[in-house]
Every structure is written in structure tokens, then in C-alpha cells.
Chains A and B, each alone.
Chain A
Amino acid sequence: MAKIRKVENKIKLGLELDELPEQLKQKIDEALKDKKVTEKQRQKIYEKAFEEYKKALVEPGESVGIIGAESIGEPATQMTLNTKHFSGVAELNVTTGLPRIIEIVDGRKTISTPSMEIYLKKEYENEEDVKKYTLQIKETNLSEISKEFNVNLEEFSIEVTLDEKKLKDLELTKEKVIKVLNKTLKKLKAEEKEGIIKLTFKSKEENFNELYKAKDKLKNVYVSGIKNIKQVLPVKKEEGYVLITAGTNLKEIMKLPYVDTYRTVSNDIFEIYEYFGIEAARQAIINEVYKVMENQGLNIDIRHLMLVADTMCNSATVKGITRYGVVKEKSSVLARASFETALNHVINAALMGEKDPMNSIVENVMVNQIIPAGTGIPKLVMDLDIKKKK
């Protein structure tokens, strides 16, 4: 064993078992900070920690995959199905529990309740700023900032009266609104007249039906804020203010000058993958699943979640644990066939003349052979002629 490991160390695979891992060493140093210890004692502690560390290592051949799957599957049976959750009095609805785990593990592109936790930079962390930004971030449409919508049949126009107070809260002005309206509306032209915004058709065609339709459309025209953010809720936590949102838009939020980009997160794994890449997505999967488990009061070691996340992200894109995702990519035909859509796998394998090398677990179970895991890995050959030789 020792020899094998030395050779492999050269290509830096796996563990180097010559000394205590740096991380553990740092932890010990941290713990010893305010204690009086002699150098000898310190060395002894290192030694002892290393000893225990070596004892706690996984043994080669351990079926860590199955253990990981069990560790998630077993507590899943105890979880409540409750989709919605309100912790505290006024929190947003966020999918938790089993549905959320299924959603993550499926690798769904659109999730049922996208949400963000936006942290603000230290200098903006006061009540006033928080209130202001809460309003500014939320996606606002015209109807939210106006008092009245009128259809003026005489002049064939729509008149919108804006709510001054709300405009002020959002740091908007009428001019700005008009500018935005002119930019987004193609058929209409907006102007200010006597404090009222007047919208008229660019073309001369006059059709009342069109007019009323335009009015309804107008109500939902986006004016300010960040698209997709349907709701923003400021919450005061121990570490400061957090803006919790319904809907996510990482790209735009990250551009805001007052947002602390280091701490702000989204719960949409695909969005994270798109903007930050696969490593961030992996971490997001781990965090999200862990959050759900913690929420349900279930205890699970992070290593199991890492393994799930790593299998999902192994191909450099986020793949769900479904017949279209991870399972499809397995190298062995029979292992795929034993999951779902058995015949399709066999037929496709036949067309390509695939060869199943019998190196995964199920095929060997199928043909009653020893499985290549755990004690099935070492292969002993006994020389039966040993007596004769002697």
C-alpha cells in the first residue's frame, strides 16, 4: 500500500498521508491561541490529531455513493410535505421540505419559488437606506405608481395621474417615467400636460377597442426597479439587514452599487451556474439541500451532500439525477437499463454495438458475480499446487 501511494503522490491524486492536513493544523492553532502550551505539547497535539485523523479515514473500496444516497433518502421519508413555510410572522413563501429537495436533485431549470437574499454593504446598513433600497429593487409597473387611469374619448388619449409620494420614494421624476414609457411603448407617445401624463397614438388610426386595450396594457408596463423581483422584504438578522426577495435576477442585482456582492445569494442553482460557473453551482446545491435538512431538524453530514453535488456537476454542467441527466451518462448499459426505460437503453446499445464491461454493481448482481466494491475489490489468487511444490 505504502508503495502504491508514493507513486500516486507524484501525480497529486487523492491524499498525501505524510503529515497532518493544513486545515486541521490551522484549526488546532486557532484553538490553542489563548492557551499556554509549550512547543513540545503542540507537537504532541499535532501528532495525536494526525493519529486520529489517519484512523478516521475512509477505507479504499468503501461504497460512499450508496452511503450518501441512503443518508439523504432515509431522512427524506421523515420530512413533511409542507410546501410553504412561514417562519416568523411575515416571511415570504419559499418551497422547503421534500419538494424542494426533489426540485434541486432533479436539476430543474425553473424552480417554483425563486428567491434571493440580498445583503447590503456595511455603509448602507441603516434603516433609512434599507427602506429606500427595498422599494427601489422591487420591480414596479405603472399602475403601482399612479393614482388614476383615465380614457379621454374626446382627445382620444389616456391620461395617467402619478402618485407623487411614491415617485419620491422611488427617486423617480415624471420626466424619467415619460422617458421610460416612450422607450418601451411602440404605438403610443407620452407627454406631460398639466401634471398629467398623456398618451396618444402615434398613428392616426382611431379605434376605441385599441384604446382600451392599450390602457390595460399600460398598467403593467415596467417602470423601474429590477425585473423579476416581484417582492422585497427587509429582515433584520443578527448579521444585519437582509433583503429577501421573491424572484431572482442575480445579474442586475450584482450591478447595484450598494449591494454586498460577497454575501448576496440566489436560490436558483441554474442562475448561479450561468453567472458564476460550475463550482459555484456545486456549492449552491450543497447549501440549498443543507438548508432544507437543517430546517426540518434533520442531521446530515455535509460530505454526503458534497458527493451528490459532485455527481450532478461532474460533466461541467448541472445535471439532474434523472433518466435524462446523470443516469443517462453512465458507461454501463445494464446499469442504465435497470433504472428506467430499460428497452430504449438496450436498443441504443445494440445499434452502437456497445460493450458492457461489467464493472458496475448491478450487472454483477444480475449475473451472480462478486460486486466490484468493498471486499469485492481485492482479488486473491491461491496457488492450489502449494503442497506439491513443497
Chain B
Amino acid sequence: MDNKKYIYKKIGAVQFGLLSPQMIKKMAVVKIVTPELYDKEGYPVDGGLMDLRLGVIDPGLRSKTTGARMTEDLGHFGYIPLARPVIHIKFVPIIYDLLRSTCSTCGKVLISQDKIDAHKKELKRIKNIRGLDAVRTKVKTIIAEAKNTKKCPHCKAKQPTTKLEKPYTFFENDRRMTPVEVRVRLEKIPDEDLEVLGLNKELARPEWMVLTVLPIPPVTIRPSITLESGERSEDDLTHKLGDIVRINQRLFENVNAGAPEIIIEDLWDLLQYHVTTYFDNEVAQLPPARHRSGQPLKTLTERIKGKEGRIRHNLAGKRTNFSARSVISPDPMININEVGVPLMVAKKLTVPERVTEWNIEYLKKFVERGPDKYPGANYIVRPDGKRKRLTEETIELALEELQPGYIVERHLMDGDISLFNRQPSLHRNSMMAHRIKVLPGRTLRLNPSVCHPYNADFDGDAMNLHIPQNEEAMAEAQILMEVRTQLNSPRYGLSIIGLIQDGISGLYLLTKNENIKYEEAVELLAYTGLKNYDKLPKKETVTGRDVFSVLLPDDFDFVSKSKDKKPVVIKEGKLIEGVMDKANLGEGAGLMLRSINKKYGSEKAMEIIAKMSVLGIHYLLKKGFTIKLSETDITKEIEEKIQKILQEADVKVKELIEQYQKGELEAYPGKTIKETLELNILEVLNNVRNKVGEFLYEAIPEDNHFEIMARSGARGNILNLAQISGVLGQQALRGERINRGYKGRTLSCFTKNDLGPDAHGFIRSNFKKGLKPHEFFFQSMVGRDSLMDTGLRTPKSGYLYRRLANAMQDLKVDYDNTVRDSAGKIIQFTYGEDGIDVSKSEGGSINIHRIITETIGIKEKKEKAKKADA
């Protein structure tokens, strides 16, 4: 079997454990003996921290261990034999537990043998049933039990009291223990007892927690940087290791020279400090080791920990090639599942295509055109994996060389698959697969209908594009991620892609009793790409509904309600009654799109959405639709009526205040009278804006463009108009009127204890007239508050999301339809109790009524037909 070419091994498991001194020595390729890094020529010193056996970080040098050049080799460990043992800071709490729960004389756990055996059995049982976390909890109780024993049940020795002085000094009967003594104590603990203490006897002997040799990491994980001045700047870890080696050497010398105990102890302490800060430079009671500049060193723990640490930054998050990022802009004329890519980008990003006997001529043309002429190719890859860049000089050579088995990395072309994404990627629809459409310009273009799932707008948003690089990835993107597969939200099972803005208002106007000439109708439909106009009635003038109906499938039946709760009826592909608006065309509640998707498939649904959108937009283009300032003008009568509404409210508030001052107001249960008054006033004043809105809705002519947008649901609502040309209304701060500021009043322009509307944030002006100074101030207060709210909410909800995602990321449906976690533990016997996939359902369920009407309906029709025949 010739399997050598194929990688068939994968990492099956990762084993965690402590390194024994023997293991550290075995791993090491060099013993570090000198703190010096380089000699006079700038060449790494043998036995120094940058020893060439540890790996290479300089171009041109070769590793003395493997002979590999830079980046070819991961590097190797070295070691330092410590002159005196040192406690590993990360194991201090565990050592403390061990010292207190084992006998100082015989080393056994301070529990009688019977109990030890019983605990062992129990632990085994817990491990099998409830997992390792439960074992840890149980071990804690065992240790707590052993801690309080004064006399060893095995050798009857009296136990000393052990104390820990943070961060790492142990005391036995108030006598300081050296790490040597600690180590001796830990060595005494017999293998058999380790299980009860929650340790693995093969992988975690307790004495290994006191270091006698220190492993030196390869230079490749602590590369030095050469500054512009030619000076070398070493990594923080190298600095720290230098300190350790230096002190270690001095300690060695002093010990060998027989120096006084005090000097040795001082050096020993210093060594302990350096080793501790090497592991963790944020130990609570220790001053952190610093650079000469005063900035704390980033040592091992800081490298791993937190958001910017190795695990979250580099391991759980990756960077990719073959991606592009640019500002986005709308293009309603490209399809929903397309993305417009600038030519510039298309020439940089490539798709690998394997050369075969059948496509070699085709691919040769790409190579011939080279990297500059579109569509060309940037690289060819030989079967042995060597990449060759195509330049004007290399093209000819490459052409000769090209044969089946090679890969050509050709430019991006129309129809290639890509992944399109906008951050924050809050749900799976934030990253969908789009077809490439190469366009002039410098922005990425997308159909405005997909703005909603991405939550994108065009005020400067930028999005990312990724090109999958193998057939497997492309196939997956096409089948699982393409826009048409994402028409339904997995959150609530309704359309998430629908028409927006001009699409909606256009169709609203079109379907609203509009008669247009046959020729014009055909022209409009032609824009959508439709070629068959048979469905359009052959009359001189046709209705807008007729035009709209052309886009619907012939056997489509649908009954629903429009935004203003009027019925919408589609029968056999014809819009018979009602207007189209956001309730049926938009995302979210858009049940019409949902039904089309269900009945005719996502391909057809997407096509219909795109066509409807184009129809709406072109109708508006033909008709002419803008919004101008005079659109917000209101007549005098309306103005007067608004003033009347205001006066009514004023009177009501005055009455309430009077009642309050006379003490006639009755308090709501659980509220004070003052609070009751506030609630009542707030209700009255809040109602003003709504009333004005309602009134304007009736009063403004229906052909007002503002009104059209609001009614169709395309953009804005009538309250916006009420605020522009009516009144702004009450400004509420945390659900109350504005009640802060000076003593007894909100601003100094009011009298004290004024309870009236104006003094507490009621704004009578509108945006068009402009606000009075105090009104402006109140509005700013509320504006600031809402900014604060958003600012505080974003990180909170982000953290909630991270936690949820982290806790549930491993849950998946198994082959037996149970939901299980990564360990195979069953979370649900059937997903959601019925096994229905929300995005495949209709709003989370099977629509029985539709099924019934479909079956019975068909029957009825047949019967009718039979009767007719008879």
C-alpha cells in the first residue's frame, strides 16, 4: 500500500500531566549554563539562551539539532539544573493541601486505611457516573476531612501545624520550610494514596511540583527582534530566563565555595522570585518584574490568559488568506445571491483549478494572460506542492510545463462561490455564500434585499469576502450556505430576506388601483428579465395588480392581511384583492414569501423576490418618487387641531395637579400620591404624540409621499411625521418625566415646584419649527441617556452570547435524533420535543390548516369540475 502521500493521521487525544525532572532532561537538547546570549560577532553563544540547538530565528543560520533553516523547524527544549529546588507557583495551593492532609512522618493520607479504601471505591464510582468534575468536588471533601486530623492513624505520629505565607513560603510549627523540605515531604506520599488526593500517580507525582530542573523553551517561541538601528531587542521570556540563569549560576558558585548560609538563602529566595515571575508575573503579593522602562514583563501566564492570550486569540481564532474587505454599496440590479466584486479584487483573489486532460486548453488560456490581464492566473502549483508565481517572464515557461495534475490559481470569475460576511457575526445568516459578479468600481456590491440578515446599511459599512479553496468547501458553501438556503430564519422560522424600501413602496403604489398602459406594463416587466407576457391581460390598460400577478406562479393560492388589516387574496396566481405592503413583502412577518418558498422551492422564491424588487423599483423610477420638505407641510386646520389636542392635555394635567394639591388624588396601591400623580400626568402627555400621529394619519392626503412610505411600511412611520410637523411630545427618562436638575425644578428658567408639562420635559415644538432652548436641553438629556444605554448594553449582551455559545457549541443532533453534547451525554431525547428544524418549519410548526385547505380545497374544485361536466 502506497499511502505515504496522504495524511491519514489526526490528533486523537491530548494528554495532560506534569513534567518529571527526568522527562525535562529527556526532552532537552542542551543544558543552559551561561546568561550570555551572543558573542562579540553577534553569533549565539553555546550553552546560552539563544543556543543554536534550541532552534533558529535568524535567516541564514541552521539548527544544530536538525540542520533545519528558519521556519522549517519548531525548535527544541533545553534545561537548567537549579542549584536549589524551587516551588512552582501554580501548584502552591495544591502543595499546601497535600502538606496538611498527609502525615509528616510516614507520608500517608491522614485517614484510616479502611476509609481510604472506601473513598477509592467511591471515587471510581463517581468517575464512571458523573465525570471528573464530580471527582474533584469529592476530593475536596476528602482533603478537608484529612486536614483536621491531629494524629496520624497509621503511624500514630503527632501532626505539626502547617501554614502558608503567601505567595509561596511554608511554615511547619512556625518554622520556615525550605523547598527541599517541602519536596522531601511530598516524596513521602505513597503512590497508592495519590488517587484519594485526586492525583494521577503516573502523570502527577507531587514532588514534581517542586522544580529541580527548569525546562527552557525553544527560541522560536521567544524570538528577538532586530530594531532599525541594528540593535537586538530580546523577548520578555528571554529576559526573564536570563535573570534565572544568572542567579542560578551565582547560587551554584556560592554553594560550591561554601558561602555563609545567609547569602545562600538570599540568593535562593531571589531564584524563587525569578522562577515565580517567569511563570506568572501577576502574583498578588509579589512586585511584578519590569523592563528597564518600568513596563511589566509579559511572561508565560500572561501569554496564555485572556482574550488576547494564546488560547482565545490564536488557537480558537484564526486568520485566513484569500479574503477581501471593502466598503459596501447597494446594487438592486444584481441578483440576491450575487456579490459585486471590484475588478481589482478579482485579479488578486484566486480559485484553484486542477488541470486535467479535458480542461488543459481552457486553463492554458488563463496562464497565457498572466496576472495582469483579466481573467488570468496568478500562480501555478506543481503536483509536489511547489508554487510558481506567474510574471511576464515566467508565463512561457509555465505554459510549457503545465500538464494534468498541476493546479492553476486563476482569477475570480462570475459565478464562482464566495463567503460574504459582516461583523458582528451574531447569527449564521451573518455569513452566507454568494456568487461572484465582477464589476467596475472599488466597493463590494450587494442587493439591498440581503441587508437585513447582515444588518448592513451603506453609511460606510465594510464587509468581508472569502474564497473557498477546495472542492469540498465550495460544495458545502453552495449546498448549505447559499443565500437561497437561508431565506428562513432559524430563530423563528419566517422569512428573513424580503423586499425593502423602494421595492415595497413601489409595489404598494402599483397594486393600489393603478391603471397603466399595456406597453408600459410590458416595459416594466421587461426590466425584471421576464420574457413571457402571456399572463398579462391583453387590454389597452391593465391594472397594477395584473402587472404584479404576472410574477406569481400560476397555481399560487394565498390569503392574508395587509398592514392596515385589510384582506389580501391571491387566487390561482392572481392578486384579486388588497394591496401589497410590508406585511406580505417584507422580512419577518412576510408569510407570502414563506409560502412561495415552501411550495415552489427556494430557487424560485429567490427569483420571485428579486423580480418583485426590480418591478417595484422601476415602477417608482418611472413614476418619480421623492421626498421633499413641503411633504411635511400641514394645513392650518390641521395645525389648529393639533393645538387643540395640546390644550386638552394641558387642561387634563392642570386638573390632575389641582386634585393633587387639594389632596383629592387617591394613591394607587403600593405607590405614594406623588408617584400616582406622575404616572397619571405621564400617561396623558404620552398620549398627546400618539393622538397627533393618529390624527395626522387620517388628515394627511393619501398621495403624500411621506404617508405612502409610512403606510406601505417601506420606511418610517407616522409618528416621525408627527414629530417633524406636529409636536415632539413628552421626553421620558427611565420611564419617568424629567425630574432631575436643581432643587425643586429642572432648569432655572422655571419656578420652583412647577409640576406642569413644560417644566418636566414636554416638548410642544416640532423639528420643523425648531425647539426652544429648554426643550432642546430636555431632548439632549434623553438622547444622551439612550446613547448610554446602547453603550452599556452591547458588552453585556456580547458576554451573554459568548457564554451561551461556549456552553452549547458542542450540542448536536445525533443519528438517533437525540441531542447530545461532545461526551455523548443526552441533553434532549428529541430536539425541541418534536424534532422539527425551526428554519424548515412554518413559524415553528407544521401548518395543519394549510394542509387541510389544500387537500379539501382540491377535492372541492374537482367536485365542482365534475358538476360542471355533468
Contacts and interface: CB of A to CB of B under 8 A. Distances in A.
B3 to A, nearest CB: 7
A71 B427 contact: yes
Interface string A12-47: 011100000101100110011001010001001100
A352 B204 contact: yes
A314 B133 CA distance: 15
Nearest to A375: B476
A8 interface: yes
A301 interface: yes
Interface in A350-390: 350-363, 365-369, 372-375, 377, 384-385
B69 to A, nearest CB: 23
Contact of B91 (A73, A92, A347): A347
B416 to A, nearest CB: 21
Nearest to B127: A352
B74 interface: no
B805 A59 contact: no
A371 to B, nearest CB: 10
Contact of A89 (B679, B789, B849): B679
Interface in A111-167: none
Given A14-B829, A48-B854, A361-B810, A58 B835 contact: yes
A311 B826 CA distance: 10
Contacts of A253: none
Interface size class of A (residues with CB under 8 A): 35 or more
B841 A56 contact: yes
Contact of B16 (A23, A308, A354, A365): A354
B837 A62 contact: yes
A357 B13 contact: yes
A359 B822 CA distance: 6
Contacts of A256: none
A351 B200 contact: yes
B11 A53 contact: no
Contacts of B316: 338, 362, 365-366
Contact of B812 (A63, A80, A101): A63
A53 B835 CA distance: 9
A302 B844 CA distance: 8
Contacts of B203: 350, 353
A342 B819 contact: no
Nearest to A62: B813
Given A68-B808, A346-B16, A353 B202 contact: yes
Contact of A373 (B3, B94, B812): B812
Contacts of B823: 330-332, 359
Given A49-B846, A62-B837, A13 B818 contact: yes
Nearest to A12: B829
B828 A310 contact: yes
B815 interface: yes
Interface string B435-475: 00000000000000000000000000000000000000000
B15 A366 contact: no
A342 B810 contact: no
B835 A57 contact: yes
B166 interface: no
Contacts of B131: 329, 331
Interface in B479-505: 480, 490-494
Interface stretch (B549-557, B572-580, B794-802): B794-802
B158 interface: no
Contacts of A337: 311
B49 to A, nearest CB: 24
Given A44-B855, A90-B679, A327-B806, A80 B789 contact: yes
Interface string A65-105: 11111111111110111101110011010000010011001
B118 interface: no
A27 to B, nearest CB: 6
B849 A322 contact: no
A352 B135 contact: yes
B426 A70 contact: yes
Nearest to A97: B793
B14 A77 contact: no
Which of B315, B789, B807, B811 neighbours the largest number of chain A CB atoms within 10 Å of its CB? Answer: B807
A73 to B, nearest CB: 3
Contacts of A105: 800, 803-804
Interface stretch (B108-116, B289-297, B613-621, B666-674): B666-674
Given A13-B818, A89-B668, A372-B822, A304 B838 contact: yes
Given A335-B806, A338-B316, 10 more contacts: A24-B834, A57-B836, A57-B840, A64-B813, A65-B810, A69-B804, A331-B825, A342-B305, A353-B203, A355-B14
17 contacts: A4-B816, A32-B852, A52-B851, A56-B837, A65-B810, A66-B428, A70-B426, A79-B793, A81-B792, A89-B668, A98-B793, A311-B811, A338-B315, A343-B301, A358-B12, A365-B316, A375-B476
**Which 7 A-B pairs rank lowest in CB-CB distance, beginning with the nearest?**
A65-B811, A353-B200, A73-B801, A303-B832, A360-B822, A65-B808, A353-B203
Interface of A: 1, 4-5, 8, 13-15, 21, 23-24, 27-28, 31-32, 35, 37, 41, 44-45, 48-49, 52-53, 55-77, 79-82, 84-86, 89-90, 92, 98, 101-102, 105, 231-233, 246, 299-304, 306-308, 310-311, 314, 321-322, 326-335, 337-339, 342-343, 346-363, 365-369, 372-375, 377, 384-385
